[in-house]
Amino acid sequence: MLAKSLPLLALFLASANAAALPYRRFQVRSTAADSTDTMPPSTAPANATGGCSASSSWQFDSTNHANITSGDRSFLVHLPANYDPTTPHALVVSFHGFKANGKKQELITGLSEKGLTLNGKGIVAVFPNGQFGPGKNGNESIRAWQGAPYSPPGVDDIAFTQQMVQQLSDNLCLDSNRFYASGKSNGGGFTNLLACTPATASLFAAFAPVSAALYAGANPTNCTPGRPVPIISFHGLADKIIPFDGQTADRENRTEYATPNITQYREAWAERNGCSTSAPVAALSSSTNGPKIGFDAVVSHPHADTTLKTSDCSAQDDHAVLNGFTVKGLGHSWPSTAGLDGGVTDFNATTANILPFFDMHAMGASS
């Protein structure tokens, strides 16, 4: 529940998960290499779901799409051209932004494009539809995901996601070691909430929030995933909807729309994932006292106007990498060359970075 009654500064700090952040900053190392492949593809064995040995009643059209309804919920499913009902395939679920829907998310991400693979096989791409909520004015009917001030009240999208994945597992031949979650804006914030929630942090192998709307409900201070979580994050420096530097309120001065500084958000995940820390570094803020502990991060520039900070984290037998892409000149958009989401970049985030990142991470793998 949003803490509307908190003072302005307290709300901002809560939304930023910043209790310890003033004392922790990335300490970066430059690299001449512009490759984002910090790890080879995962060699974890496939873990076939029940759908590999059961028949399904789902009907797909000539474009390999099916609109599946379950009660009052729905999701769009796309099968790869080479889908084999006896071979486990990776699953990528992508959550749309506020005011959008599954079809638009499919369009802007390109996740249904021909030839995309994970673990050497075509991917099953799924685009769920959020429930209709009150919107920002309180009297609208607009699709939204849990975690935002405009989310439909009483809707448990985490439970819906679990149920949807179970249905997919029962009806399609999937590899449960290779389930992945991604999302844009409100859907990106919800992707972060899934990563923070133990039941879904253990369901999806890696997460990709893009231009994430990290309101307090989507970025809880008690984020406890229960394991190191691989995350690849994209955000534009020209984003006016969810500013990179964060905000304490929206234009109408509504504090429930506070969002964190994206660098601090990424640092929080680095700390949560148990990233190795370097020696104390020089003070980075005159407003704080005491030593600043830096998280080791490698800085590269894999694309034009794009800075990538990679922090390699590990704990016990788990392994996680945090990739943070900061794009100069990009607004509130999914990075792509086609500009189907408004902004134009010289790379397609889905194919250039997200799918290769997913390919490096799977459940059942050891560090």
Give the DSSP H/E element, type plus range, for residue 327.
Answer: strand 318-327
- φ, ψ for residue 189 (rounded to 5)? -60, -40
Domain boundaries, the chain: 8-359
Provide the pairing of β-strand 306-315 with 318-327: antiparallel
Return the minimum-mean-pLDDT range out of 28-37, 160-169, 178-187: 28-37
What integer pLDDT is reported at residue 295 of this predicted model? 61
Residue 279: closest CA among 22, 24, 38, 18: 24
Identify whether the C-beta of residue 157 lies closer than 8 Å to the C-beta of residue 130: yes
What integer pLDDT is reported at residue 269 of this predicted model? 93
Identify whether the C-beta of residue 342 lies closer than 8 Å to the C-beta of residue 245: no
Mean pLDDT of the 194-198 span: 98
Per-residue pLDDT tens digits for 242-259: 999 999 999 999 999 999
Mean pLDDT (the chain) is 87
| Residue type at position 222 | N
**Percent of residues, the chain, with pLDDT higher than 70:** 82
- CA–CA distance, 33 with 273 (Å, rounded to integer): 25
What integer pLDDT is reported at residue 366 of this predicted model? 56
Give the CATH fold of the 8-359 domain: Rossmann fold (3.40.50)
Residue 317, pLDDT above cutoff 50: no
Q: HSE (CB half, 13 Å, CA atoms) of 172?
A: 28
pTM for the model stands at 0.88
pLDDT band at 16; cut points 50, 70, 90: very low
Per-residue pLDDT tens digits for 145-179: 999 999 999 999 999 999 999 999 999 999 999 99
pLDDT band at 345; cut points 50, 70, 90: very high
Return the minimum-mean-pLDDT range out of 22-31, 58-67, 73-82, 223-232: 22-31
- CA–CA distance, 218 with 189 (Å, rounded to integer): 5
Tokens of 348: 């397609």
Residue 202, pLDDT above cutoff 60: yes
Residue 22, pLDDT above cutoff 80: no
Mean pLDDT of the 35-58 span: 85
Residues facing 179 on adjacent strands: 91
Tokens 């914030």 belong to which residue?
189
Per-residue pLDDT tens digits for 294-313: 566 789 999 999 999 998 77
